[in-house]
Amino acid sequence: KNEVEQSPQNLTAQEGEFITINCSYSVGISALHWLQQHPGGGIVSLFMLSSGKKKHGRLIATINIQEKHSSLHITASHPRDSAVYICAVRSGGGADGLTFGKGTHLIIQP
């Protein structure tokens, strides 16, 4: 079973700072997801990637398959980016659900 580790667990930064959240996993995967969970609990899917890099607005996600590692970057961070960011992986060809990290709690202060 895949083990998913995220770091840091908690991160507080000032508005405008460049943010990096890391995710590592133990077993080869077919896809990695980055999710955003807001205080009310609802979850939004940010990225799904299996190689390389994806960008959407101020968010950038990268993955290194050989190193079993992914990063989520936020440029020009804003208080509205404050949320829990969750990394999740799908291992191999399994048809079941995802394996999730515990999340990184991000607070951006004005």
Partner 1 sequence: DGGITQSPKYLFRKEGQNVTLSCEQNLNHDAMYWYRQDPGQGLRLIYYSQIVNDFQKGDIAEGYSVSREKKESFPLTVTSAQKNPTAFYLCASSWGYNQPQHFGDGTRLSIL
Least distance CB 51 / partner 1 (angstroms) = 14
The site map against partner 1 for 38-77 (x = CB under 8 A) is: --xxxxxx--x-----------------------------
Residues 78 to 97 in contact with partner 1, rule: CB under 8 A: 86, 88, 90, 94-97
Query: 80 in helix, strand or coil?
Result: helix
| Amino acid at position 34, single letter | W
Q: Both ends of the chain: CA-CA distance in Å?
A: 40
Strand partners, 87: 34
- Residue 106: closest CA among 5, 10, 33: 10
Which residues lie near partner 1 (CB under 8 A)?
Answer: 4, 30-31, 33, 35, 40-45, 48, 86, 88, 90, 94-103
